Amino acid sequence: MADRSVNRKATLLLTVAHDLHSNGQSSRETTRIATMLGDALDLPATIDLRWGEILLQADLPDGSSLIRTRQAAPAAVNMSLVAKLTEDCTRVCQQRLTLESAEQLLQAEDQSLSSLFLFFAACIAGACALSFTFGGVSLAAFGLIALSAGAGALVRRGLGHLGLSNTPQVFSAALLAGIIGSVSVHLGLRSGLRLIAICPCMILVPGPHLINGSLDLFALRIPLGASRLLYAGLILLGISAGLLVGLSFGSQLLWAQGPVGHDTFWADAIAAGVAAGCYGVYFSMPVRMLIWPVMAGVVAHAIHWWSITAFHAGVASSAAFACFAAGLFLLPLSRRLRLPFAAVGFASVVSLMPGVFIFRFCSGLVQIQQHAAATPPWLIATTLADAAAAITVVLAIVLGLSLPAHALDHLRPKDTVRQP
């Protein structure tokens, strides 16, 4: 039987693993930190992360086994919490603190998100910055995008305080964006790609879950990786459904159009950096650290731009180059700053996400269903083209960001993390 001290240690390990796993840290780092903490507390243990549960197993000196579980779903992202908790765990391990001191230090974490005002402002600035990179230049369009994104931010925080999960939150924000977008068309603001409707939805894309899910698949954590990707897919489905339902109130659809873009490189690069900084705020990144995703966002956008203009690379391959470079730059930085790589990495390359293609593909499916047997061939062709573009670019972004992290994990000594 485990004594009271061992039970307290197990509870502390599970608490740490829960807070890291539930707030955006990668599975590899979560198990590494929890295992390191267990060794420092003289409770060598293995941590098994699953969707919905964490399992702790330890062999005790008397020959018995200790097994504890705790519910945990990796559905949130809070970089401030992850950074502080990781730093405190390192302190415990380096200073060999007593159990009482470790409990006092590790169980007094600040789990607050970014302030409502900062979140509200970041949603407006991020949506407007993304619209600029896609070619939006009308002041009236910027005003409606700001209105839609700001109102969506308030709706999401309100529903969050009511205890609703991410899916109804993003559905409601996207529904509002679709309604405002359809109204803008009736007002005569026919912006390219219907940016007024799409850009407030772009800031809802669940990038960290895509990155962490891919890292889990690379590490052969198949069930957890598949669960993360499925969760990201459900959020994308909720965003697309909300947008299309909102547009339907004004009898509007998303039609295939080419991106407008700008000829001014630095204006686009600065807008991409602004969007990256805003995404850091969405993920509750410490404000003093926002400069790093901003810098990486500008560099990634520059590489993407030059790959297309100077080397005539395709959209997917240029995105892969840009994301690989951003991953190489941010990976050691995220480890040094103790930030979850998936969140800071995705924030830096958000301007490359093909949200437009995803939403247009969903709209094309709806139009094909409406036309039934009389579907025009061009509609099928454009819908398939949008699907192909969305899939290839998303894969390029995910692989470009994930490969540096996977390579570093593969090169690490095998005994740094004990797997069950």
| CA dist., res. 140 & res. 154, Å (int) | 21
Question: So where are the chain's domains?
Answer: 4-112, 129-136+204-411
- Cβ atoms of 27 and 215 within 8 Å: the answer is yes
Radius of gyration of the chain from its Cα atoms, rounded to whole angstroms: 23
Report the pLDDT averaged over residues 222-246. Answer: 94
**Alpha-carbon distances, residue 276 vs 104, 134, 263, 285 (angstroms):** 35, 15, 21, 11
Tens digit of each residue's pLDDT (9 = 90 or more) over 128-140:
998 888 776 678 8
- Which range, of 160-169, 313-322, 398-407, 409-418, averages the lowest pLDDT? 409-418
Task: Name which residue leads in pLDDT, 236 or 357.
Answer: 236
The Cα 226–Cα 217 span in angstroms is 7
Residue type, 109: E
State pTM to two decimals.
0.88
How confident is the prediction for the chain on average, in pLDDT?
A: 86
Taking residue 381's Cβ as centre, other Cβ atoms within 10 Å add up to 12
Stretch among 49-63, 136-150, 406-420 having the lowest mean pLDDT? 406-420
Structural element, H or E, at residue 65: strand 65-70
**pLDDT at site 65:** 85
* Residue 338 or 108, more confident: 338
Residues 276 and 268: their CA atoms lie apart, in Å, by: 12
- Tell me the mean pLDDT in the region 70-80: 92
Residues linked to residue 46 through DSSP beta bridges, in sequence order: 57
Which of 89-103, 159-173, 244-258, 398-412 holds the top average pLDDT?
Answer: 159-173
Single-letter amino acid code for the residue at 204: L
- Give me the residue label for tokens 């399992």: 55
Give the pLDDT confidence score for residue 1 in this predicted structure.
43
Per DSSP, helices labelled H in 249-314 are 265-282, 291-309
Of the listed ranges 185-189, 228-232, 302-306, the least confidently predicted one is: 185-189
CA–CA separation, 198 and 376 (whole Å): 25
pLDDT of 419: 44
Report the percent of the chain where pLDDT is more than 90. Answer: 42
Angle of helix 341-348 relative to helix 265-282, nearest 10 degrees, comes to 150
Signed CA dihedral, 262, 267, 269, 270: sign only = negative
Question: Quick one: pLDDT at residue 139?
Answer: 83
pLDDT tens, position by position, 165-203: 899 999 999 999 999 988 887 777 655 546 788 889 999
The pLDDT value recorded for residue 274 is 93
Q: Which residues of 310-341 are buried (b: 16+ CB within 10 A; e: fewer)?
A: eeebebbbbbbbbbbbbbbbbbebbeebbbbb
Average the pLDDT over each of 4-18, 44-58, 395-409 and give the range with the smallest value.
Answer: 395-409
Q: Per-residue pLDDT for 418 more than 50?
A: no
pLDDT grade for 417, boundaries at 50, 70 and 90: very low
Single-letter amino acid, residue 415: D
C-beta separation of 116 from 124 below 8 A: no
